[in-house]
Amino acid sequence: MWSTFRGMVSSRPRQAPGRRPATDLGAIERAAFRLFAVRGFEETTVDAIAEAAGIGRRTLFRYYPSKNDIPWGQFEAGLAHLRAFLRATPLDIPVHRAVHQAVLDFNHLDEAAIPQHRERMRLLLTTPALQAHSALKYAAWRAVIADYTAERYGLSPHDLLPRTVGHVSLGMALSAYEQWLDTEDASLPALLDAALAGLRHHLCEEPA
């Protein structure tokens, strides 16, 4: 899962000259989430996060391009995993099934990671500034889906169908997440399945 923090302070090949990074990405994220939980996202200043993490404000901005990026954690790594999952999918599996499986895999959670992921997603989906910023993250996610869909169908990623599949896959995932946050009981995979099943019924099994 993309939200799981893994990886060291830096992946620079050891043996390099110069000062070694002393900044711990995980520590920044933890400090930030602690502050967000207490004071809320908008009310927490970047200065406060930097101070809580024991680093300079300028250093924080060297690790995160913006305050809005902090709650996203290692999202890029998650995208790479998503790409790899799709690349490894056998070609005899229909495209829509391949994409759905990839979405399920992308959003798979270990039991222990659920509470933190809930908190992260609650923050991302209910904070206006983050709802807005998320559009940029979503665009990269959609591109992964669109690229795969285009390749499987022999189209360009800029054609209509791949783009539509990207948008619609994201839409289903987001509606499942919103539902997941609203209800205590349902599981995320079940909601992702239900979103797809509901959409198919809505679009395809009604009188035209």
Partner DNA sequence: TTCCTTTTTGGCCCTCGGTGTCATTAAGTA
Partner DNA sequence: TACTTAATGACACCGAGGGCCAAAAAGGAA
Q: What is the contact surface with a second copy in residues (CB under 8 A)?
A: 94-97, 128, 131-136, 139, 158-161, 163-168, 170-172, 174-176, 178-179, 182, 191, 194-196, 198-200, 202-204, 206-208
Distance CA 56, CA 106 (A): 34
Distance CA 68, CA 124 (A): 9
181 is in the binding site of which of DNA, a second copy, none (Cβ under 5 to 8 A by kind)?
A: none
- # chain residues binding DNA, by CB under 7 A: 28
Q: How many CB atoms sit inside 10 A of residue 94's CB? A: 10
Site string for DNA, 52-91 (x = CB under 7 A): --xxxxxx-xxx-xxxx-----------------------
Letter for the amino acid at 7? G
Q: Least separation, in Å, of the C-beta of 54 and DNA? A: 7
Q: Are 73 and 3 in contact (CB under 8 A)?
A: yes
Phi, psi of 55 (to 5 degrees): -130, 170
Sign of CA dihedral 81, 88, 138, 143: positive
27 is in the binding site of which of a second copy, DNA, none (Cβ under 5 to 8 A by kind)?
A: none
Distance CA 127, CA 131 (A): 6
206 is in the binding site of which of a second copy, DNA, none (Cβ under 5 to 8 A by kind)?
A: a second copy
Q: Applying CB under 7 A, which of residues 13, 17, 154, 207 lies at the interface with DNA?
A: 17
Q: Applying CB under 7 A, which of residues 4, 5, 21, 118 lies at the interface with DNA?
A: 21
Q: Least separation, in Å, of the C-beta of 27 and DNA? A: 11
CA atoms within a 13 Å half-sphere pointing along the CA-CB vector of 92? 0
Contact residues for DNA, defined by CB under 7 A = 10, 12, 15-23, 44-47, 54-59, 61-63, 65-68
